Amino acid sequence: MIQAIWIITDTGQCIFSHKYIELGIDDQLIAGLLTAFDAFSSESGIGGVQQIGGEDNQFIYGSSQKLLVAALADKRDNADLVEKLMVKISNLFQEKYAPYLKDLAFVDLNVFNGFEEEIDQILKPKVYKRGAGSTFFATFISLALSAGVFMLLLNILDEAVFLVFLAFIPGLFVGALIAGKSTYGLISSIITVLPIIGYYSYTLISTNWGTEAILNSIFDIFLMAVTYITIAMLCGIGGGSIIDRRRLFPLVEETEQLAVIPSQVTVAQPDLRTQLTQQQETYQQETYPQETYQEEEVQVEEQYYDSSSIVEEKKDEWDS
């Protein structure tokens, strides 16, 4: 999904932006950066639409007359599709606001408010959700269609066994279209042909087991597996890429939640210093009970008083 769109003048001023996610970067900073990249590509003779790829997203930008149109899109989105949508949005923008674009120095940028709705009308019909769910559903549909076509053409295929694999092409192709991406279509098609290969392999081996024809059966199974897997790969990649070039991935909303469940809260173990302190106190209490400490304190106090009285007596004798 295209997550944000900027329309920038040739002087580097962002006059319009529409975002589907929150970005912590100022529009004018992005405008200056992309203008510099566009100027560099023009001066170096590269020209055309440029792309800056990241780990999860990609910047795609290009010049259209006096405007620079840039989009932040999902990394999975087809770059050619994003480019076509950008051109369509740019042409619509310039057609609708042509009088204001002649001299932007004295134009209030608020006049461009409301263009967001027209962008939504262009982008939202292009969104198609794909993933594990679409791959599973595509596999189910592919198996059902393949079985249906096979049963429909069973009489014809009995006379031309070498055309059996043709019965599975429609199901594989439709399944890849439902999967919506070449990778997902490939997975769906391979999963679809595996039980077919397994069924034919079991039939041939069980029929010719213990006979001289078993070697020929193994060779036939190998050829059949190579043929079916090749057809599955072609149908999966071809059908999936058709949707991949015509549809955007949905917007991924990442939310971080910090939750503490009381039943899962555990008390942290004491650190090493605390454990040593506790062990030392326990050892002292076991070795020197509290009563011993009190007796020793009493003896020390008595000795102190005795020594004090002796000192006083000596002092009186010296004074006299």
User: Are 64 and 159 within one domain?
Assistant: no
Number of neighbours of residue 240 by Cβ within 10 angstroms: 29
What mean pLDDT comes out for the span 176-185? 89
20: in domain: yes
Q: What are the structure tokens assigned to 298, written together?
A: 């009493």
Lowest mean pLDDT among 70-84, 147-161, 193-207, 288-302: 288-302
Question: What digits encode the pLDDT tens for the residues 77-126?
Answer: 888 888 888 888 888 888 888 888 887 776 778 888 888 899 899 888 88
Q: Could you tell me what percent of the chain has a pLDDT over 90?
A: 4
The pLDDT-based confidence of 63 (bands split at 50, 70, 90) is confident
144 and 45 share a domain?
Answer: no
pLDDT at 266 over 60: no
Boundary of a domain, candidates 225, 244, 263: 244
- Claim to verify: residue 139 and residue 238 sit in the same structural domain: yes
Closest CA to 49 of 62, 39, 64, 32: 62
- Return the pLDDT at 312: 53
Whether residue 213 lies inside any domain: the answer is yes
Residue 271 forms part of a structural domain: no
Out of 191, 213, 244, a domain closes at 244
Q: What is the mean pLDDT of the chain?
A: 75
Residue 302 resides in a domain: no
| pLDDT, position 34 | 80
CATH number of the domain encompassing residue 105: 3.30.450.70
DSSP string, 78-133: -HHHHHHHHHHHHHHHHHHTHHHHS-GGG--GGGGTTHHHHHHHHHGGGB---SHH
Indicate left, alpha or beta for 58 from its phi (over 0: left) and psi (-120 to 50: alpha): beta
Q: Are residues 117 and 38 in the same domain?
A: yes
Q: Of 107, 126, 145, which residue constitutes the final position of a domain?
A: 126
pLDDT for res 255: 34
Q: What is the pLDDT of residues 212-256, one digit of tens each?
A: 778 888 888 888 888 888 989 999 999 988 888 888 888 765 433
Whether the pLDDT of residue 199 is over 50: the answer is: yes
Q: Please name which of 80, 74, 81, 79 lies closest in space to residue 57, comparing C-alpha atoms.
A: 74
Classify residue 318: in a domain, yes or no. Answer: no
Domain presence at residue 311: no
Q: How far apart are CA 189 and CA 143, in angstroms?
A: 9
Would you state the pLDDT for residue 101? 82
**Maximum pairwise Cα distance, the chain:** 146
The confidence score (pLDDT) of residue 261 equals 30
Residues 36 and 84 in one domain: yes
Pair 176, 240 in one domain: yes
Q: Is the pLDDT of residue 182 over 70?
A: yes
Answer whether residue 267 shows pLDDT above 70: no
5-9, 52-56, 199-203, 205-209: least confident range: 52-56
Check whether residue 14 and residue 75 sit in a common domain: yes
Distance CA 48, CA 287 (A): 86
Q: Pick the residue with more confidence: 283 or 260?
A: 283
Local confidence band at 276 (pLDDT 50, 70, 90 cut-offs):
very low
Q: What is the spatial distance between Cα 167 and Cα 157, in angstroms, rounded to a whole number?
A: 9
- Residue range(s) defining the domain that contains residue 97: 2-126
d(CA 163, CA 305) in angstroms, rounded, equals 118
Same domain, 91 and 144: no
Q: Mean pLDDT over residues 285-297, rounded?
A: 49
Mark whether 26 and 51 lie in a shared domain: yes
61 and 157 both lie in a single domain: no
What secondary structure letter does DSSP report for 269?
A: P
pTM above 0.85, yes or no: no
Region 58-74: mean pLDDT is 82
Q: Tell me: do 41 and 149 sit in the same domain.
A: no
Contact 52, 79 (CB under 8 A): no
For the record, the structure tokens of 76 come out as 């999975």
Domain count, the chain: 2
Whether 184 shows a pLDDT value over 50: the answer reads: yes
**CA-CA distance, 85 to 2, in Å (whole number)?**
9
Task: Please state, for a pLDDT cut of 70, what percent of the chain lies above it.
Answer: 72
Structural domain includes residue 281: no
Asked whether residue 61 falls in the same domain as residue 13, the answer is yes
- Do the domain assignments include residue 249? no
Averaged pLDDT for residues 19-34: 83
